[in-house]
A and B are shown apart, each in its own frame.
Chain A
Amino acid sequence: MSLAPAPAAGCADAPVLRERGQREVFCGLTGIVWLHRKIQDAFFLVVGSRTCAHLLQSAAGVMIFAEPRFATAIIDERDLAGLADCNAELDRVVTRLLERRPDIKLLFLVGSCPSEVIKLDLSRAAQRLSARFMPEVRVLNYSGSGIETTFTQGEDACLAALVPEMPAEPGAARSLLVVGALAEVVEDQFLRLFAALGVGPVRFLPARRAAELPAVGPGTRFLLAQPFLGDTARALEARGAVRIPAPFPLGVEGTMAWLGAAAQVWGTAHRLAEATAAPAGRARAALARIRESLDGRSIFFFPDSQLEIPLARFLARELGMRLTEVGTPYLHRAHLAEELAMLPGNATLSEGQHVERQLDRCRALRPDLTVCGLGLANPLEAEGLATKWSIELVFTPIQGFDQAADLAGLFARPLARRARLKV
């Protein structure tokens, strides 16, 4: 285990460049695209405009045809004429939907910018519809609007809406709750590791099925698997659960510290080295091969998912990349305290965005690799900058030891490709 403090580490007190202006980011509705794959009997009904439907279609790509469990109730001019009418219309749409999809057990009414601006009360609509369709279908609501949420914050809002629905843990039995949607293969790896550490029982939020929501109570200790879960953490704390501070499980170092933090609470930290020896060793060997192509290369992050800081930490410390600017849409100081302490001190941190000025800075720095959204990637490539499109980092299994090399590979590949192409 190499938890030796890296030299020049520590961004805990570093100044953060806060910017306002045009933001080239997704809204929280996009979270639906991976959340609906995760909660297998939930349906996500966006109440919004044709723009919202168009966004989901563009973000979901070809997935939209595999009987996806999301749709948009498109508000039209008749709905805008009067609010009462709008509620009746929503009930009609939901009824039709549930008749067609009897397999649905949990329905999320997802708020959008238009529904927020016309102040359509979706929480009351959810209560009303729940009363009507319980016990077959539970109806909840959250907002994925662009005016309130950025990209992965949609998952935060969704999970926070689930927290009040979690059953209460009887007594003060201790359990570990892992919070944040993870790929199933990653969940299973973590389950095995926690078992080897003697940490348990371990549960996950979100669960794979709506009816299997984990219990929560004062005995619950939770680990965030994702950095964008501020509201969810607050809601869990309101129910007595206690967060285990830890960096995020990206790379060998992050995963080790993340597992170690839980083991510490369970008093089994002495088992960490042995329990993780095999996967951590594999991962280190695999990373060493990729390090050759990334060592010393500079990297620039445009804000997207809030994963930027943990990713930058991993790339800097385990792969030797040189950080230029690390942008994040939102910086949760408490949840990222461990990450910031590990981040090399020479990185510029920025929160929020003025995309034109940020592009100016990026062009001036000419980083070897730029992490950005698909709206910027091809234009920057055309300017001669190598890019890594950031959305893939949310859809790909990247957490844990056995994904560490895959994660590094995502950054090495664009550079390898540039080196190969001769025309």
Chain B
Amino acid sequence: MQLALWTYEGPPHIGAMRIATAMQGVHYVLHAPQGDTYADLLFTMIERRDRRPPVTYTTFQARDLGGDTAGLFRDAVLEAHERFRPQAMLVGSSCTAELIQDDPGGLAKTLGLPIPVVPLELPAYQRKENWGAAETFYQLVRACAGPHVPKPGTGRAPRAEGRAPSCNILGATALGFRHRDDLLEVRKLLLALGVEIRVVAPWGATPADLAQLGEADFNVVLYPEIAGQAAAWLRRSFGQPATTVVPIGTGATRDFVQEVARLAGLPATLAEEALRAPWYARSVDSTYLTGKRVFIFGDATHAIAAARVAAEEMGFEVVGLGSYSREFGREMRAAAALHGVEALITDDYLEVEARIAALQPELVLGTQMERHVAKRLGIPCAVISAPVHVQDFPARHSPQMGIEGANVLFDSWVHPLMMGLEEHLLGMFREDFEFNDAAQPSHLGAPSQSGREAAPAAQPMPVPAAETPHSAAGAPLLAWVPDAEKELRKIPFFVRGKARRNTEKFAQERGIGTITVETLYDAKAHFSR
């Protein structure tokens, strides 16, 4: 048993639902107890879908268990077929039905439906959501395209004369992080190259579309977690090569275009006029991003891609890299080694939290979970991977992939840091005479001057003890000689508070009671080490 509060992934049948919901003309009959319909609201609420997922649940109850749950299942399949008239059906068990061993595949087969019925074996006590999605997609692809696999030894027919090279785009699902917009971006990249797009699947595809997968020259795999298994089968069965680069970030997008061009036998062309991220990263305003320590966690694809962008395109230092995708442990470790860190492969959020707390990064890139951890620890954070909440299914175009994806990454990662800098400055201003809580905005006029620095300059300068922060705590009194106070006021106002604090701390630690100009500069030298 594993004690769990948060799970990065749902059970595998949720993965199957993501495939069924992404497609058209597919219906999933899930042998499941009452209550498992909760999963519908992931799609209707988080992704804001305007229709119910194409899933029928048998919703058996305790009183059914002694009787004929198999009969219940058969009836549900017949009724779902009658009502929804799908082109293909998925049948399977959720975790509880797995225990009562009704064999949905066998039961459905005896019904003799006139459509392909794909039985799903999704071991709910071993595997998780992404595995379930990959397995479901693979089984569907096999069931639909399998009959069209050329006989062994016949090889691929050469492309017809004058016909453009073509590809399928594989992997986009329902409830996928930015899948909708990634697809648009990748389409743009492929069309610019002159590659014809045949089937996009599972997103929007029908079983009839899947049957034609073998006709394309190669496959574009957007999310290896989901489409890797199906793409491997297509390679074996139809001799279709698949892309290996996921175009997240400027560098990866360029590499992806190179790879596709090579697979298609076309010259690489990438229209970069809308690409702003590299210039933004080079502009002087971004200098302060240099060497920012960043911790990255998510699914393997997004985490690995983010690490490259962070290091090569933002100038950050990757201090931690990890993933909950155990299936991609090898890839994760290899990527982590590139950045000189050890990969954290876990699905226990407490371990992730402990690592973040230990590393104290300046930015966290992660899932919804890391967002909350970072919030608790007061560290800026941006979301780069599922699981995500409703706000990360935005109305606006917001891809992670391609040219616009690179722009989006720059904005969404820098944004929390800007917020961080802003907060930092505001924290300093709070002690400044112009920005303290009691000070009136200057545009309202100033009937009563506030703040000690607005007092007549000729006043004797030793600061009243009551105004130094530590004197209240019983620390020895500190006095600023007038010259030192004057010198302090030459320091720009937004760092003056910090300079005052540091100087007084320095003096206190050394038992200096009177702060002179010398003390001020000694302290500055001390703290600027």
Contact = CB atoms under 8 A, between A and B. Distances in A.
Contact of A375 (B44, B56, B79, B83): B44
Contacts of B94: 51
A113 interface: yes
A25 B34 contact: yes
B303 to A, nearest CB: 21
B126 interface: yes
A13 interface: no
Interface stretch (B60-68, B311-319, B320-328): B60-68
Nearest to B34: A146
A147 B36 CA distance: 10
Interface stretch (A86-94, A181-189, A218-226, A264-272): A86-94
Given A58-B42, A76-B1, A378 B50 contact: yes
Contact of A23 (B6, B13, B37, B125): B37
B5 A71 contact: yes
Interface in B64-112: 64-65, 76, 79, 83, 94-96, 99-100
A51 B34 contact: no
Contact of B35 (A25, A47, A75): A25
Interface in B22-37: 33-37
Contacts of B198: none
Interface in A201-217: none
B143 to A, nearest CB: 25
B128 interface: yes
A145 interface: yes
B418 to A, nearest CB: 24
Which of B59, B123, B124 is most buried by chain A, counting CB atoms within 10 A of its CB?
B59
Interface bracket on A: 35 or more
B40 A64 contact: no
B124 A50 contact: yes
Given A49-B11, A76-B125, A117-B100, A58 B4 contact: no
Nearest to A143: B62
B3 A73 contact: yes
Nearest to B58: A22
A96 B3 contact: yes
Interface string B38-58: 111110110011111000111
A331 interface: no
Interface in B218-255: none
Contacts of B57: 22
A368 interface: no
A294 interface: no
Interface in B331-345: none
B2 interface: yes
A373 B37 CA distance: 10
Contacts of B123: 77
Interface in A372-398: 373-379, 381-382
Contacts of B124: 49-51
Contacts of A169: none
Interface residues of B, number: 54
A196 B2 CA distance: 52
Contacts of B14: 54
A70 B3 CA distance: 10
A191 interface: no
A113 B96 contact: yes
Contacts of B3: 71-74, 93, 96-97
Contacts of B7: 50, 53-54, 57, 74
Contacts of A93: 1, 3
Contacts of A114: 95-96, 99
A166 B14 CA distance: 41
A64 B373 CA distance: 12
Given A51-B11, A378-B45, A146 B1 contact: no
B417 to A, nearest CB: 22
A73 B2 contact: yes
Interface string A336-380: 000000000000000000001000000000000000011111110
Contact of B125 (A75, A379, A382): A75
A54 B35 contact: no
A79 B125 CA distance: 9
A386 B337 CA distance: 54
Interface string A17-34: 000011111111110000
A237 interface: no
Contacts of A61: 389
Contacts of B415: none
A76 to B, nearest CB: 5
Contacts of A92: 1
Given A26-B38, A70-B5, 12 more contacts: A23-B34, A27-B35, A73-B2, A76-B125, A77-B126, A114-B99, A117-B99, A147-B61, A147-B65, A374-B40, A376-B44, A379-B44
- The 6 A-B residue pairs with the shortest CB-CB distance, nearest first, are A27-B35, A146-B35, A375-B40, A382-B50, A113-B96, A49-B95
